[in-house]
Amino acid sequence: MDMPRNETRPVRFDEFSTPKHLEHASEQARQRNYQDFLIIDVDSHHYENENYAEVFQYIENPVIRRDAVESAGRSTGLLNTQVGTQNLAGRITRQKGRRIEKPRAAKHRDIGMTLDWMDAIGVDYACLFPTPMLFLGAHPVPEIEAAMAQAYNRWLCDNVLAHEPRIVSMLYLPFNDPEASYRTVQEFGDRKGVVGFMVTSPRYKPVHDNAFIKTYALIEEMGKTISFHAAYNWDDRALSMTNRFISVHALGFMFFNMIHMTNWVVNGLPERFPKLKVMWIESGLTWAASLAQRLDHSFMMRTSDCPQLKRKPSEYMQEMFYSTQPMEMPADLSILEATFKMIKADTQLVWSSDYPHWDFDLPSTIYDLPFLSDQAKRNILGGTAAKVFNLPTKPVKKIP
Amino acid sequence: MAEWFVAKASEMADGDRRILTAGKREIGVFHKDGQFHAYSNTCLHQGGPACEGLLINNVVDIVGADRLYHGQKFGDEVHFVCPWHGYEYDIKSGECIGDRKQKLRKFEVVRRGDEIYVVA
């Protein structure tokens, strides 16, 4: 029997520890017995810019490498970025806190930082993505995107994925350069911990361009996943009409993936690559349910616009995978239940945290849903992702 | 219900707070503008430590009598912010700013001499 405790502590802002910051998440994990639940996070992040001194050394071209090294630490330099106060003007405290944090001992600081939050939340395996590089698809020079992608991918494989089996990744595809994208799959497809390839969505290359066909074919042949990771581009002509971060974030994270999905389906790519695993990341769920209905509605009148399709667009969409976060949570859960039904969540939805970003989700967003069966929860939280990424199914985390 | 000792009032400067573990409950106790307030430390959103984030005043859009927008300023209402995702709460009522129908559980604060207690 638990004895009553009476302790008090101050709140300190001059120290930071991820396990402490996430103590309530660990409590949730213990209460729900996540130790017996396989939990795979298909979308999490580190801040690769904290390692740019190391990453830049991997840039192959000496001219670009010098440019990168010389501009390091400056607000304007070789790499593009985006306006946006993701930490809510300091209200989200972990972004500042991580600078003074001392993570567990590990082969690399980013491994220690990542394992700290994974165990605290209850995650067994995490797919790790970069942060500032999510905007790199809007870089004006494709050559820089390609050089940076190669350097980052090599750095990640050598320094993180090679040393920690619980961390995997879908590597950055320099999509503005189709040939470099193809070479990326060739070079990294068999590296340890590489479970697929990721296209950052804010960009202006149509996914149905013939230049990408051989890359899709190679990813399909390797049995890997191609994913489209959402983000915003406040410089986009339409999105630049918005004036608050909430607006550009809410729209931008759906906008580009809606365009890519539409092109993907209408141009018959699911028919041409029936075994290619396609995943849509960080757009939430409502966009997919909405788009499926709109495309189906128009398809019945305009089959001549998409003659490769043998079925309705929604049927192809129900064969793709969707990450959960940021999962919309309507007060009326029957709306969410209908959304789950639209995308066949039991087999196609894969949980994601997006940790440590400002709008991360915990496993409880799925575990606590009253309309899901136990098996559906197990599938969404980890079972489906284990199949997609070919990962072990035994929980290995150590919840504090 | 029992009274749980928090701190000596003289040891909590204005703007200070303590997190009290009372049995299985965590309660945030704030001292702000001469008053003490106590709320559940579990955010209504995803269960974050609601009382452990920034204290910050509300943001106001300045809209004139002519209905034109003239910029933003900080208002007089003090909020505490859940550090996980930014849910904001009114320090005087515990109301969630995004939906004032939702409130954090409020606890009575009792002062005995220089000692502060929470009833929970």
Q: Where are the domains of chain A?
A: 32-389
- B4 in reach of chain A (CB within 8 A): yes
Q: CA of A359, closest CA in chain B: separation in Å?
A: 6
Nearest CA in chain A to B7: A8
Closest residue to A24, CB basis, from B24, B47, B85: B47
Total Cβ atoms within 10 A of residue A236: 18
CB A324 within 8 A of CB A354: no
In the block, which residue shows the tokens 């089959």?
A303
Q: CA of A72, closest CA in chain B: separation in Å?
A: 30
On the question of pLDDT at A207 being above 70, the answer is: yes
Q: Please state, in angstroms and rounded to a whole number, the distance separating the CA atoms of residues B16 and B36.
A: 10
- B116 in reach of chain A (CB within 8 A): no
Total Cβ atoms within 10 A of residue A163: 14
Is B19 in contact with A90 (Cβ distance < 8 A)? no
On the question of pLDDT at A4 being above 80, the answer is: no
On the question of pLDDT at A239 being above 80, the answer is: yes
The radius of gyration computed from the CA coordinates of chain B, to the nearest angstrom, equals 16
Percent of chain A with pLDDT over 70: 99
Nearest CA in chain B to A20: B49
DSSP bridge partners of B63: B69
- For B4-51, the pLDDT digits (tens) are 999 999 999 999 999 999 998 999 999 999 999 999 999 999 999 999
On the question of pLDDT at A3 being above 70, the answer is: no
Is B85 in contact with A359 (Cβ distance < 8 A)? yes
CB A304 within 8 A of CB A266: no
Position A1 scores a pLDDT of: 41
On the question of pLDDT at A2 being above 60, the answer is: no
Q: Which of A6, A15, A121 to mutate to test the interface with B (most CBs of B within 10 A)?
A: A6
Is A91 in contact with B81 (Cβ distance < 8 A)? yes
On the question of pLDDT at A249 being above 70, the answer is: yes
**Domain spanning B3-119, CATH class:** mainly beta
Position A83 scores a pLDDT of: 92
CB B33 within 8 A of CB B78: yes
Over residues A139-167, the mean pLDDT reads: 98
Q: Please state, in angstroms and rounded to a whole number, the distance separating the CA atoms of residues B58 and B83.
A: 16
Two structure tokens written together for B14: 């204005």
**Domain spanning A32-389, CATH class:** alpha beta
On the question of pLDDT at A75 being above 80, the answer is: no
Is A11 in contact with B52 (Cβ distance < 8 A)? yes
* pLDDT-based confidence at residue A7 (cuts at 50, 70, 90): confident
Nearest CA in chain B to A365: B46
The answer to which of A13-17, A342-346, A390-394, B61-65 has the lowest mean pLDDT is A13-17
CB A191 within 8 A of CB A224: no
Position A13 scores a pLDDT of: 87
On the question of pLDDT at A167 being above 50, the answer is: yes
Q: Which residues contact A357 (CB under 8 A, 6 or more apart)?
A: A45, A86, A131
Q: Which amino acid is it at A161?
A: L
- For A87-141, the pLDDT digits (tens) are 999 999 998 898 899 999 999 999 999 999 999 999 999 999 999 999 999 999 9
Sorted by where each begins, the domain ranges of chain B are: 3-119
CB A127 within 8 A of CB A161: no
Is B54 in contact with A91 (Cβ distance < 8 A)? yes
Over residues A294-318, the mean pLDDT reads: 98
Is this model's pTM higher than 0.90 or not?
yes
On the question of pLDDT at A214 being above 90, the answer is: yes
Position B62 scores a pLDDT of: 98
- For B64-81, the pLDDT digits (tens) are 999 999 999 999 999 999
Over residues A352-363, the mean pLDDT reads: 98
Quote ipTM for the complex.
0.96
Over residues A193-198, the mean pLDDT reads: 98
3-state secondary structure of B22: strand
